[in-house]
C-alpha cells in the first residue's frame, strides 16, 4: 500500500502539472491571437446604408464615404452623442471629407456601442431598411458586430460589420503589437468589454 502511495502521488502531481502547463500554453496562444479575433474584416456587400459610428479619427467617415461613392450604399447614417461632434470631426480630423449633397442622416444620443445599435435599429425600422453596413475602427469591429447582431437578431435586417482599415497610433495584428503599450491597452480593454458583454448581457453598457 505504501509503495502505491509513494508512486501514485508523484504521478498525480505530474498529471496536474502537465494539465496546468497545457492550460498556460493554451491561454498564451489565445492571448497572442486575440487581436486577430478582435478584427472583423468583412467584404463589403451591396446595402442600403453605411452606418458610421462616432469616435475614433476621420477614417470611419472616410470609409463610409468611400462606400457611398462606390455605389455600394445609397445612404449614410452617422451616430454620435451630439450632432456637433460630427462638425468638429469634419473640421479637424477629416477636412477632405465632403458630405454635402449626399443622402445622410445623423442619429444623436449615443452612450455606448449598445445604444448605437438600438438607435440604428429604431432608424432602420422607421425607414424600412433591410440591409446595412456598420463601419468602425479595426479593434472595435468584433464588439460592434456582437452588439449589432444581438440587437438585430430576429428582425430580418441583415447587418455586416466593416473595418475602417486604419489602426492610427496602434499596431495591427500582423505587427509586434505586444511590444506597444497603447495597442496592448486597447486589445485588453476590448477583450474585457467583450467578456462583460457575453457574461453579463443584461448589465453590459459598452
Q: Cell digits for 53?
A: 459610428
Domains contained in the chain, number: 1
Q: Cell digits for 43?
A: 467584404
131 contact partners, CB below 8 Å, separation of at least 6: 45, 46, 47, 48, 157, 158
The reply to whether 33 falls in a domain is no
The reply to whether 130 falls in a domain is yes
CATH number of domain containing 145? 3.40.50.620
pLDDT digits (tens, 9 = 90+) for 26-41: 545 455 679 999 999 8
pLDDT digits (tens, 9 = 90+) for 78-127: 999 888 888 777 777 788 888 888 899 999 999 999 999 999 999 999 99
Q: How many Cα atoms within 13 Å fall on the side-chain side of residue 205?
A: 3
Least reliable range by pLDDT among 6-10, 49-53, 119-123, 177-181: 6-10
The reply to whether 21 falls in a domain is no
The reply to whether 38 falls in a domain is no
Domain range enclosing 114: 49-167
At residue 25, the pLDDT reads 46
On the question of pLDDT at 14 being above 60, the answer is yes
pTM, two decimal places? 0.82
The reply to whether 142 falls in a domain is yes
The reply to whether 6 falls in a domain is no
Q: How far is CA 124 from CA 48, 49, 65, 108, 132, in A?
A: 10, 9, 19, 15, 9
The reply to whether 22 falls in a domain is no
The reply to whether 181 falls in a domain is no
Amino acid at each position: 500500500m505504501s509503495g502505491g502511495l509513494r508512486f501514485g502521488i508523484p504521478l498525480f502531481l505530474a498529471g496536474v502539472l502537465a494539465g496546468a502547463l497545457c492550460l498556460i500554453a493554451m491561454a498564451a496562444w489565445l492571448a497572442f491571437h486575440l487581436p486577430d479575433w478582435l478584427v472583423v474584416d468583412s467584404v463589403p456587400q451591396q446595402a442600403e446604408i453605411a452606418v458610421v459610428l462616432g469616435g475614433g479619427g476621420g477614417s470611419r467617415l472616410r470609409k463610409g464615404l468611400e462606400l457611398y461613392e462606390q455605389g455600394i450604399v445609397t445612404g449614410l447614417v452617422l451616430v454620435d452623442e451630439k450632432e456637433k461632434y460630427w462638425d468638429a470631426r469634419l473640421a479637424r480630423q477629416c477636412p477632405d471629407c465632403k458630405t454635402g449633397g449626399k443622402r445622410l442622416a445623423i442619429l444623436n444620443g449615443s452612450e455606448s456601442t449598445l445604444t448605437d445599435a438600438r438607435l440604428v435599429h429604431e432608424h432602420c425600422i422607421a425607414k424600412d431598411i433591410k440591409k446595412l453596413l456598420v463601419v468602425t475602427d479595426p479593434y472595435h469591429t468584433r464588439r460592434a458586430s456582437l452588439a449589432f447582431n444581438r440587437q438585430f437578431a430576429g428582425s430580418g435586417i441583415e447587418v455586416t460589420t466593416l473595418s475602417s482599415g486604419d489602426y492610427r497610433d496602434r499596431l495591427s495584428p500582423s505587427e509586434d503589437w505586444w511590444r506597444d503599450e497603447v495597442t496592448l491597452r486597447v486589445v485588453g480593454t476590448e477583450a474585457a468589454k467583450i467578456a462583460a458583454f457575453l457574461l453579463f448581457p443584461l448589465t453590459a453598457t459598452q
